[in-house]
Amino acid sequence: MGYSRKRVGRNGKPRYTAYYFDIKGMEKSAGTFSNKKDADAAWQKAEARVSEGRVGDPKRGRQPFERYVLDVWLPNHEMEATTRQKYTYAVHRHLVPEFGNLRMIDILPEHVRQWVATMKRNGISPVTIKSNMVILSAIFTTALHDQVTYLHPCKGVKTPPVVPKPLTIITPEQFNTLYMGLPDSDSQLLVETAIETGLRWGELTELRVKDLDVPSRILTVSRAVVEVNPKFHPQGERFLVKPYPKDKEFRRFKLTAQIVMKLQAHAKAEKLGRNDLFFRWHHDPTPRKRVRVVPDPDKLGYTEPNAAGRSYKHGTCTAYTNGRCRCEHCRAAYAIYRAERRALGKDDPRQPRNRDTDGHIPADWFRRQVWQKALAEAELESRVRIHDLRHAHASWLLSGGADLQVVKERLGHASIKTTEKYLHTLDDADETALDAFTKIRNRSGRRSS
């Protein structure tokens, strides 16, 4: 039972400290107040919270969903840093606005079905809806085990089906075109290593010299790096190196002689030590000056009418601001205008963005500054992601006759069913089947002749 203790403050006035006992029986302070009424209310409130933490106490189920998730479930649920980041954002964006003020025991399957229907009406993708449902289900599974609730409201609630999209498999010819569009030898080696190994981005950018045994050409994948918001990093940094790859299993496989020679030559040229990364971020933060041609508004015509029905000459700041035109001429006009103001000291120059990196290559930087520009240079019709090189590695191996189990082990798949989806994914994979069909189909014609 809690209580309030009176004492005299430095100013001679009475002060009341509220005390309560936690679930372990230890005396704790709930604060100091100027009157006994507030102190009594404080220790009573603290004891109520303690009661919510006792197994079998019905008060546990009366706590709001928001308090249980943010104060109990999220801080104590064991998960990866990237998973914690994803779950935290999803909880605040999709779960708390819907269930935050409801008591845990009041949330029923009908409320979850209404929530799913609302997300669907709001245009949220089936993938996101399913992901949100996984998080909500995990919360109530824990609550059920801890006897906070005695009903799992997610059981029996269906989500919109997630239709898997066809895999984007880049052909060897397309890859060669893309490879030639990369800006330098370092990015070419990184991309070639990705297609030759099938490594995930986090495994590829954490690859170190010591991981490759040159004489045997054996590569050991034993770590991966993830990029997170510093508040989710144990040391408040941007990159977190995990001492295991995905699925928490090391794997070892052999590389081709030509890629091993290139990696060895790269390490020698860069004077890399055994613990150094093969691929490091060498971006120069100094902004490059872009040469812009002053547009001639009299030769460029007019913009489309805006909401007020007004048109403006292309290549003018007015067209950019009032006409909301983002063509190259209007953007150039506005950029020149801003540069002139900065030169005259009327506007503060934009400071270059410094990437918070320990040498690991930021995925978004590589995608925007290297990958997307190479895709544009190659003029590929299909939309290829960096991760699609992993798909291509598996597809090329299987199309070339590699054993399915060997490919599974090289890629580190937990199930062989995951590997099987790469069978017959190249455009010409069905040619042998068509040849076989044509051979049988035309058999009767050959006999009659």
pLDDT one digit per residue (tens) for the chain, 449 residues: 788 888 887 788 889 999 988 777 788 888 889 899 999 999 888 887 777 655 455 677 889 999 999 999 999 999 999 999 999 999 999 999 999 999 999 999 999 999 999 999 999 999 999 999 999 999 999 999 988 998 999 999 999 999 888 777 888 898 999 999 998 999 999 999 999 999 999 999 999 999 999 999 999 999 999 999 999 998 888 999 999 988 788 999 999 999 999 999 999 999 999 999 999 987 654 445 554 566 788 888 888 888 788 899 988 989 888 888 888 888 888 888 888 888 787 776 665 556 667 889 999 999 988 999 898 888 876 678 899 898 888 888 888 888 888 888 888 888 888 777 777 666 665 566 667 666 766 766 655 44
Residues with Cβ < 8 Å from 110, sequence gap 6 or more?
A: none
Half-sphere exposure of 302 (CA within 13 A, CB side): 7
Q: What is the pLDDT of residue 129?
A: 96
Identity of the amino acid at 86:
K
Contact 245, 257 (CB under 8 A): no
Contact 388, 169 (CB under 8 A): yes
Interatomic CA distance for residues 220 and 214, integer angstroms: 11
**DSSP codes, 75-103:** HHS---HHHHHHHHHHIIIIIHHHHTTSB
Backbone conformation region of residue 217, classed left if phi is above 0, alpha if psi is from -120 to 50, else beta: left
Interatomic CA distance for residues 141 and 73, integer angstroms: 11
Q: Please give the distance of CA 261 from its chain centroid, rounded to a whole number.
A: 33
Q: What is the pLDDT of residue 242?
A: 92
Interatomic CA distance for residues 131 and 156, integer angstroms: 16
What burial class does residue 121 get, using C-beta atoms within 10 Å of its C-beta: 0-12 exposed, 13-18 middle, 19+ buried?
A: exposed
Contact 26, 11 (CB under 8 A): no
* pTM score of the predicted model: 0.69
Coil, helix or strand at residue 28: strand
Coil, helix or strand at residue 368: helix
Ramachandran angles phi, psi of 342, nearest 5°: -65, -40
Q: Output Rg (C-alpha) for the chain, integer angstroms.
A: 31
Q: What is the pLDDT of residue 290?
A: 54
Interatomic CA distance for residues 5 and 31, integer angstroms: 11
The structure tokens 């030559």 sit at: 265
Ramachandran angles phi, psi of 212, nearest 5°: -110, 120
Q: What are the CA-CA distances from residue 93 to residues 84, 88, 142, 233, 348 (Å)?
A: 14, 9, 21, 21, 35
Coil, helix or strand at residue 15: strand
Interatomic CA distance for residues 97 and 232, integer angstroms: 22
First to last CA, the chain: 104
Q: What is the pLDDT of residue 90?
A: 95
